Amino acid sequence: MSSRDDKQNAEEGILTGRRGFLGKSAALGLAGVSMGLVACKDNGANAAKPAAGAAPAAKGGGAHSIEVPPGQLDEYYSFISAGHAGEARIIGMPSGRTLKRIPVFNTDCMVGWGITNESRAILGTKADGSLKYTTGDTHHVHGSYKDGTYDGRWLFINDKLHGRLARIRMDIMECDKITDIPNIQGFHGLFPDKRDPVDEKINYTTRVFCGAEFHIPFGNDGKDVNDPTKWGTLFTCVNAETMEVKWQCRVDGNMDLVATTYDGKFAASNQYNTENGYDLAGMMSAERDACAFFHIERIEKAVKEGKFTTIGTSKVPVVDGRAASNPDPKSALVCYVPVAKNPHGVNASPDGKYFVCSGKLSPTATVIQLDLVAKWFNGELKEPRDAVVAEPEVGLGPLHTAFDGRGNAYTSLFLDSQCVKWNVDAAIAQYKGDKNVKVVLEKMDVHYQPGHIYSSMGETKEADGKLLNSGNKFSKDRFLPVGPLHVETEQLIDISGDKLRLLADHTAYSEPHDGIIVRRDIVKTVQVQNMDDFPNAVKPETAGITRQGNKVHVRLMSQAPSYSMPEIKVKKGDEVTITLTNHDKVEDLTHGCAIPTYNINFIVNPQATKSVTFKADHAGVFWMYCTHFCHALHLEMRSRFIVEA
């Protein structure tokens, strides 16, 4: 096994002393987990040293640089989740520059997400008009596909907290739909399909698959709390176009991540707690858990034939995919391939042949060959476990795997705080008995405790093997301390050469999980929208104030540096709707609209329309002003909003 040693790391200016502290043989299981965490708190000699900069080019390392000179553009977009901040973010790669934060499940007073009527309709409101939720927990962002690669149309992102799937339009990088997934909790992994399971001609995303982690009583109405047989979790399919929930499939175990095949036949989710335990010991008792493969065509046929139930008030068809209910492979809806216990992560290789699941509590990655899974479903493979073609030892706490399109895999090692590069074909040869083959090619320290790892275009057939991002959960000494909460480290690694080369520590505000790195030519944005795409656009002929009883509609236009009305008069007690259309056509000429003491604050991009509705419940003169810098006379861009007593 050839791994990067301390000397090599030292030569490249990388702090490695922690390696000695952690040790290479940390015990597995809980002891290992806690040891990994203790290691993060190491305040020894290393903590006092300044963090290393970008490593100089190692012999055999790639030639990528994070330097994107002023005036030049990044090569890639990276779309990342933001954890319990509830949003999505866009980062330029390799520079690491933050380009945009996209509010999704959170509220955001910069753009007015959660304030405008349009965003509130997407977020959903309660009967009293307040937002249904103001919190969220995003983990995974994935793009829609066409011909096995990104088509630049949509991003999909999960809310683990409230069980919702959101869609982001990539032309304007704004969320346009949020769907509540019924009957589940802990919606974690998601993945769009890449081809239709039945009609091969449909070679683009039409469905999104969602795995749910937590077992809950079905119906979850306070009954059946003490009856474990009524508890379970569901795998969900959502229509990518309409965002309606198509069907759900009951499974054994807690679902974690999701992956889909390039031929569209299967979606898969790695599962821990196939024991259905309710405490930590119970969830770890079985020696193996599973990667569950869903036979999409069979599930949809079962739904069509009415072989489903529904739960509570939900009308979504639910099929039974549990192993005990599917004894015959030839009609089974789900195939459970045993993998090392408590796995985390399932990733598809860009050649379309393999899925890789990692052990988490085992130092191994499990390689599953997809055509063998298909054979099992055809009754031609004895045991699901026979679909496993390799199980290399890669290191401690393996989680997620990325690919370079050259046959190599890169797995994040949470406990070892490393990224390990290994060769898939070599691992398969070793599994077959070849004792001389070199499987693990290199290990690089990352700082510290990596979670997700993802490569440029690595989840498409166009994996280009250039950049790899290691999303690290602890940053400790890598940045200036800013109080008890550290920023996260996103370490960018050049994988284009024979040797791994650490390019940069990028900061990330808490707390990104997963992301994708997309070639910039794939993303085609709209810079100035079309006014006619907004049915409520205010034009000169419709501008002004109208009143119906106590409902007042203010139809307003903006053009730098003024609003179309210098004065807006309403009466105390009125329900006021302000619809604002930005008539400026100049790219980047966005206007804001804020009203003191009324909690109104939103922006309107060129040619776009946004509206707000609120009760004028207190009298006075309130200077409505433009918040988004627009003009030399930006400060003068304001109107008097007068509420008469």
**Closest listed residue to residue 557, CA positions, set 575, 576, 540:** 540
286: how many CB neighbours lie within 10 A of its CB?
18
- Is residue 250 within 8 Å of residue 234, measured between CB atoms? yes
The residue among 332 and 624 lying less far from Cu ion, judged by its C-beta, is: 624
Q: Nearer Cβ to Cu ion, position 95 or 601?
A: 601
CB of 583 to Cu ion, least distance (A): 11
Contact between 626 and Cu ion by CB under 5 A: the answer reads yes
Nearer to Cu ion by Cβ, of 280 and 632: the residue is 632
Q: State the Cα–Cα distance between residues 543 and 553, nearest whole angstrom.
A: 10
Minimum CB separation from Cu ion for residue 588, in Å? 12
CB of 208 or CB of 624, closer to Cu ion = 624
With contacts defined by CB under 5 A, name the span among 6-14, 291-299, 311-319, 626-634 that binds Cu ion.
626-634
* E strand residue ranges, 46-148: 76-81, 88-93, 98-102, 141-146
Element (H, E) at 595: strand 591-595
Among residues 183 and 627, whose Cβ is nearest to Cu ion?
Answer: 627
**Number of residues in contact with Cu ion under rule CB under 5 A:** 4
Residue 191's nearest CA partner among 211, 214, 161, 163 is 211
Is residue 637 involved in binding Cu ion (CB under 5 A)?
yes
- Residue 639 CB, shortest distance to Cu ion, in Å, is 11
In whole angstroms, the minimum distance from the beta carbon of 589 to Cu ion comes to 8
Decide: helix, strand or coil at residue 121: helix
Q: Binding mask 226-255 vs Cu ion (x if CB under 5 A, - otherwise)?
A: ------------------------------
Least Å from the CB of residue 101 to Cu ion: 21
Q: Between 267 and 624, whose beta carbon lies closer to Cu ion?
A: 624
- Residue 146 CA, chain-centre distance (Å), reads 19
CA-to-CA distance for 263 and 195, rounded, in angstroms?
A: 6
- Whole-angstrom Cα distance, residue 626 to residue 550? 27
> At its nearest, how many Å lie between Cu ion and the CB of residue 558?
6
Shortest distance in whole angstroms from residue 614 CB to Cu ion: 21
Ranges within 270-299 binding Cu ion (CB under 5 A): none
Q: Please, what is the minimum distance in Å from the beta carbon of residue 484 to Cu ion?
A: 39
- Retrieve residue 84's tokens: 């319990």
Between CA 99 and CA 562 the distance in angstroms is: 28
Task: Give me 206's structure tokens.
Answer: 């039409």
* Cis peptide preceding 566, ω within 30 of 0: no
Binding mask 172-201 for Cu ion (x = CB under 5 A): ------------------------------
Give the nearer residue to Cu ion in terms of CB position, either 100 or 634.
634
Task: Say if strands 551-559 and 575-582 run parallel, antiparallel, or are unpaired.
Answer: parallel
The CB-of-621 to Cu ion minimum distance in angstroms stands at: 20
- Given the rule CB under 5 A, which of 344-352, 359-367, 434-442, 630-638 is the region that contacts Cu ion? 630-638
**Alpha helix ranges (H) inside 379-507:** 424-431
Helix (H) or strand (E) holding 274, with range, is none
Please state whether the peptide bond connecting residue 150 to the residue before it is cis, i.e. omega within 30 degrees of 0. no
* Chosen residue from 118, 630, 639, 641 binding Cu ion by CB under 5 A: 630
444 forms beta bridges with: 419
- As measured in angstroms, the least distance from the Cβ of 295 to Cu ion is 55
492 is an interface residue for Cu ion by CB under 5 A = no
**Could you tell me the smallest distance in angstroms from the CB atom of residue 113 to Cu ion?**
19
Cα 98 to Cα 505: distance, rounded to the nearest angstrom: 14
Nearest approach, Cβ of 441 to Cu ion (angstroms)? 55
Among residues 640, 630, 605, the alpha carbon closest in space to that of 530 is found at 605
Q: Whose CA is closest to 401, among 444, 442, 361, 349?
A: 349
Token digits for 352?
């379309």
CB of 526 to Cu ion, least distance (A): 21
Give 271 or 605: the residue with its C-beta nearer to Cu ion: 605
From residue 542 to residue 581, the character string flagging contacts with Cu ion as x (rule: CB under 5 A) and all else as - is ----------------------------------------
Shorter beta-carbon distance to Cu ion: residue 341 or 628: 628
Q: Which is nearer to Cu ion, 236 or 564 (CB)?
A: 564
Q: Which is nearer to Cu ion, 296 or 537 (CB)?
A: 537
For residues 495 and 405, the answer to whether their CB atoms sit within 8 Å is no
Of 92-100, 358-366, 456-464, 634-642, the window that binds Cu ion (rule: CB under 5 A) is 634-642
For Cu ion, the closer of residues 124 and 561 by Cβ is 561
Q: Shortest Cβ distance from residue 67 to Cu ion (Å)?
A: 35
Q: Which is nearer to Cu ion, 58 or 111 (CB)?
A: 111
Radius of gyration of the chain, Cα coordinates, nearest whole angstrom: 27
Tokens coding 378: 């055809």
Stretch 581-620: interaction string toward Cu ion, x if CB under 5 A:
----------x-----------------------------
Residue placing its CB nearer to Cu ion in the complex, 341 or 591: 591
d(CA 16, CA 43): 14
Q: How far is the CB of 116 from Cu ion (least distance, A)?
A: 17
Structure tokens at 117: 């009527």
- What does the block give as tokens for 109? 């007073």
H-helix segments, 189-328: 280-283, 296-304
CA–CA gap between residue 610 and residue 73 (Å, rounded)? 31
- Strands 467-472 and 450-455: what pairing? antiparallel
Please work out, in degrees rounded to the nearest 5, the angle formed at the alpha carbon of residue 634 by the alpha carbons of 631 and 635.
155
Q: Considering the complex, state which of residue 357 and residue 624 has its C-beta at the smaller distance from Cu ion.
A: 624
* Residue ranges in 111-140 that form contacts with Cu ion under rule CB under 5 A: none
Which residues are near Cu ion by CB under 5 A?
Answer: 591, 626, 630, 637
